[in-house]
Amino acid sequence: MSVIFDVLDLETIDRDIFRGQVVPSKFKRTFGGQVAAQALVAATKTINDKAVHSLHGYFVAPGDAAKPTTFLVDRVRDGRSFSSRQVTAIQAGEPIFIMQASFHRQDDQGIEHSDRMRKVPPPEQVRLDVDQIPKSARVMLEEWSDWDIRRVAAEDFQHNPFTASQQVVWLKSKTPLPDDPTFHVCTLAYMSDMTLLHSSLVPHPHHPVQMASLDHAMWFLRPFRADEWLLYDQISPSAHAGRALTHGRIFNQQGDLVAVTTQEGLTRTRAEGKAEIPISGLEAG
């Protein structure tokens, strides 16, 4: 069974109270995509007639990957067209993540337009040279073994000369997922934290950094499947004072823009002996 089935399987404790089980992990901290996905699952469990179109979350404290997480949902508003929820993720009595999510009825109609997907090699032509990536990144790929993640080589796509940092990644679930659209949305919330902050390191390949997600926002624009190839087109508009801003546009293989993400993360110069991302049994490097 894929880990994502365990991640998204929340236990109902009481009305608007849910618990996420411990998912075995090499990370010492709870993976940001996991807690965001679980918070979104908790919110969707309180909605009957609308679909999520956006979420905005803050990682207010590091989570412990070895502990379960409790999710408290506040039903902020239920209107005719929109509903709003606030979710607080708690470990040991303290919040580690706070998220607001907005849900929209699915029969509205209006104007239509979309950005186009850049031309890149198809995923079948992209291969990852594991020996050329840092040890910490190799461990992360092992952690994400349920996902097919293929970074497009920099020389294989056209660069915007006005953008400081660019990275393009194909990704999908290796495991077939159920047809439920909500399952795919929550799965993408998990996937969206993969590789995004690393897009800020493209101009600084050898700079030692300490990394952590600080906040995360997503907009879900069109239907998609997370077990089919998605192109994650990432940029980092700015890095300054130990923080980097990153932005991603997610397209399906047909070129439809299905989601957009924005994240700020910690990219502090790493002290000697510190790991880039805290991983059990991994030394810095």
Residues recorded for the chain: 285
Please give the helix or strand (H or E) that residue 102 lies within, else none: strand 94-104
pTM of this prediction? Answer: 0.93
Give the position of tokens 């993540």: 97
Nearest-10 Cα torsion for 137, 139, 144, 145: 120
pLDDT of residue 284: 37
- By annotation, the residues acting in catalysis are 193, 213, 263
| Calpha distance 157→160 (Å, rounded) | 10
pLDDT of residue 2: 64
Q: Confirm or reject CATH 2.40.160.210 for domain 3-105+126-269, answering yes or no.
A: yes
pLDDT of residue 283: 41
pLDDT of residue 140: 74
DSSP 255: S
pLDDT of residue 26: 82
pLDDT of residue 274: 73
Give the residues of the chain that fall short of pLDDT 70: 1-2, 129-138, 275-285
Task: State the first-to-last Cα distance of the chain, in angstroms, to the nearest integer.
Answer: 32
The pLDDT tens digits for 91-100 are 999 999 999 9
